[in-house]
Structure 1
Amino acid sequence: MGWLAAGDGYEVALVEGRVAARATSGRAAGRRLKSLPKQVREHPEVERLRRLAEWLDRHEAACVARVDAWMVSSLPVPTELVARVWPDEAWRSVLRDLVVVGDDEVGFLRDVTDSGELRVVNLDGETVRLSPETVTLPHPVLLPDLEELREFAAELGVTQRVEQIHRATWGRPVDFVEPGKQEEKAAEVKEFAGGRFASRFGLAARATSLGYRVSGGYATCVVRDAGRSAEASVWIGEPYWDGETETGDLTWRDREGRRLPSREIGPVAWSEGMRMAAALYAGRDVEKGTNA
């Protein structure tokens, strides 16, 4: 973005997301100033740039949230859509270097051609062009070559705006229920229960800051896995109680509110539920001292 006149002797521009100013006359002419001079702080151009910066921040956050949702649910994304949004820097910075799958190829998305083809670097180090109708951005628990992708990413110097290949994952346990035996019970994970917090408000705030929804006495996340929706939930305390509280068990429910046994919980829903429970538990109060 170019520099805009802002009163006598100054110009302003948006630089790295912040409004910057430079003098147009005197010894400092053409030099960027460390702070905005008083003469331009209330100038209309400065206010317009501030509003633009705020909009760009919201737009970038929305791009990250949308792509994260595509990845967590492994939704098919039209290749045409990826090509259409690619020129937008906010979209491009989020999509670039994510692992995509299309035309039986798996690799890191590096670029999009003028004709709308995706340029992908596969595990053989070859750059291939893909033009399927849709591609997926798989959740890492669904990637059989995850460790190889992580090693290759380190070689390429890949960094991802949306946590994908380095996302913490948990494998779903295999349940064995013999015919004629008691019906399998609903899944209930206690591994991350008992995390103590000074207040329920603090635990709820942690859940919200991590991107999870707080509903009633639970922190929840909804995942669409293999065409089905499952809601993972962790008890965090009564809604209007602001005293000390603890994390409870992790459970899953279907859209009708029925608690699910582990065999009915998809691998992504299981992993994301465990990830939420672990993230909440990690913020617990930890005793200090020799007897802790």
Structure 2
Amino acid sequence: MGWLAAGDGYEVALVEGRVTARSTAGRSAGRQLKSLPKAVREHPETDRLRRFATWLERHAASCREQVDAWMVSSLPVPTGLLARVWPDEAWQAALRDVVVVGEDEDEVGFLRDATADGELRLVNLDGETIRISPATVTLPHPVLLEDLDDLREFAAELGVVQGVDQIHRPTWHKPADLPEKATEIKDFAGGRFPSRFGLAARAASLGYRVSGGYATARVLDGERTVEPAVWIGEPYWGGDSETGSLCWRDTDGRVLTLGGVGPVAWSEGMRMAAALYAGRTVEEGKNA
């Protein structure tokens, strides 16, 4: 976006998402100003740019949320769709360097480009650029990536910074020796908070839903939707509160046995419980 006239002697533009002004007259013509003069702050063009900047922020957040949803669900994504949205800078920022898997198990790499004719260009673990054009690809959840450690190491070498939390997303693998009829995990129970409101607010700030006495998430695990749930206390409770057990439920509210929880739902549930627990009040001193 270029510079727009904003009254006598000034122009405004969006620079790195912020409204910036420059002078068009005198010795300082063309020089960007450190702050907006009053006349510029109140100009309609400045207000229009502010509103546009807000829209761009929301659009970028929406793109990241959609790519994150594709990744968490590991659903097939049409290659043609990626090609269509790639020219959009917000979509490209969310998609660039996401690990993509094609139809062949050897077609794995960091997404670097998507052409108009539906071809994707990936950088694989050998450092080679490969070109693929399957009908669909997946953006796998990291718990499903067998070469996750190698991908993390290679990403560090390349200086890869992903727009969504994929390869560096904390993951948990389900133990093989779980009790047959067990339905809950208590690894992150007992995290104390000054109030139930504070615990609920933390859950909401992390993007989780608060419903009744639980913080919950929804995960498409294979072909079914599973809801990890952590007990956070009765609604409207005025005293202090603490994190409770973690369980997994189906869409009808039935609690699943731990053995019936798939790898993605397990990892995402543990991630939620750990994130809530991390905000607990930590006692200090010799009696802590």
Does structure 2 conserve the Cα–Cα contact (< 8 Å) formed by 1:75 and 1:136? Answer: yes
- Taking the aligned partners of 2:102 and 2:238, their CA distance within structure 1 comes to 49
- Taking the aligned partners of 1:232 and 1:278, their CA distance within structure 2 comes to 12
Deviations 1:44-74, CA, capped at 9 Å, x for gaps: 1001001000000100111111111110110
Deviations 1:189-216, CA, capped at 9 Å, x for gaps: 0010000000111111100111111111
**Offset at residue 116 of structure 1 (A):** 2.3
Q: Does 1:76 pair with 2:72?
A: no
Does structure 2 conserve the Cα–Cα contact (< 8 Å) formed by 1:103 and 1:130? Answer: no
**Residue number in structure 2 paired with 1:274:** 270
Alpha-carbon RMSD: 1.1
- Taking the aligned partners of 2:126 and 2:41, their CA distance within structure 1 comes to 54
Deviations 1:3-40, CA, capped at 9 Å, x for gaps: 00011000000111111100000121100000110111
Choose the corresponding residue for 1:152, options 145, 151, 154: 154
Does structure 2 conserve the Cα–Cα contact (< 8 Å) formed by 1:97 and 1:109? Answer: yes
**Residue number in structure 2 paired with 1:284:** 280
User: What is the TM-score normalised by the length of structure 1?
Assistant: 0.96
- Taking the aligned partners of 1:151 and 1:176, their CA distance within structure 2 comes to 31
What amino acid is aligned across from residue 123 of structure 1 in structure 2? Answer: L
Choose the corresponding residue for 2:129, options 122, 127, 131: 127
- Percent identical among aligned pairs is 75
Does structure 2 conserve the Cα–Cα contact (< 8 Å) formed by 1:186 and 1:259? Answer: no
**Residue number in structure 2 paired with 1:181:** none
- Taking the aligned partners of 1:81 and 1:215, their CA distance within structure 2 comes to 34
**Residue number in structure 1 paired with 2:173:** 171
Choose the corresponding residue for 2:249, options 249, 253, 262: 253
Q: Does 1:231 pair with 2:227?
A: yes
Choose the corresponding residue for 2:187, options 184, 191, 206: 191
- Taking the aligned partners of 1:129 and 1:97, their CA distance within structure 2 comes to 14
**Offset at residue 255 of structure 1 (A):** 1.2
**Residue number in structure 1 paired with 2:15:** 15
Structure 1 unaligned residues grouped into runs of 5+? 178-183
- Taking the aligned partners of 1:209 and 1:3, their CA distance within structure 2 comes to 36
- Taking the aligned partners of 1:226 and 1:26, their CA distance within structure 2 comes to 65
Alignment of 1:54-69 (within 5 A): 54-69=54-69
Structure 1 residues 175 and 260: alpha-carbon distance in aligned structure 2, compared to 1, 3 A threshold: farther
- Taking the aligned partners of 2:39 and 2:122, their CA distance within structure 1 comes to 50
- Taking the aligned partners of 1:115 and 1:260, their CA distance within structure 2 comes to 44
**Offset at residue 186 of structure 1 (A):** 4.1
- Taking the aligned partners of 2:61 and 2:140, their CA distance within structure 1 comes to 20
**Offset at residue 142 of structure 1 (A):** 0.2
Structure 1 residues 232 and 150: alpha-carbon distance in aligned structure 2, compared to 1, 3 A threshold: same
Deviations 1:113-153, CA, capped at 9 Å, x for gaps: 24221000111211111111110000000000111111111
Deviations 1:170-205, CA, capped at 9 Å, x for gaps: 11122477xxxxxx3242100100000001111111
**Residue number in structure 1 paired with 2:100:** 100
- Taking the aligned partners of 2:249 and 2:138, their CA distance within structure 1 comes to 26
Structure 2 unaligned residues grouped into runs of 5+? none
Q: Does 1:208 pair with 2:204?
A: yes
**Residue number in structure 2 paired with 1:140:** 142
What amino acid is aligned across from residue 284 of structure 1 in structure 2? Answer: R
User: What is the TM-score normalised by the length of structure 2?
Assistant: 0.97
- Report the 3-state secondary structure (helix = DSSP H, G, I; strand = E; otherwise coil) of the residue aligned with 1:234: strand
- Taking the aligned partners of 1:161 and 1:84, their CA distance within structure 2 comes to 18
**Residue number in structure 2 paired with 1:35:** 35
- Taking the aligned partners of 2:178 and 2:242, their CA distance within structure 1 comes to 31
- Taking the aligned partners of 1:70 and 1:115, their CA distance within structure 2 comes to 22
**Offset at residue 290 of structure 1 (A):** 2.3
What amino acid is aligned across from residue 69 of structure 1 in structure 2? Answer: A
Choose the corresponding residue for 1:161, options 154, 160, 163: 163
- Taking the aligned partners of 1:82 and 1:133, their CA distance within structure 2 comes to 11
**Offset at residue 289 of structure 1 (A):** 1.2
The number of equivalent residue pairs is 286
**Residue number in structure 2 paired with 1:90:** 90
Structure 1 residues 114 and 238: alpha-carbon distance in aligned structure 2, compared to 1, 3 A threshold: same
- Taking the aligned partners of 1:176 and 1:33, their CA distance within structure 2 comes to 63
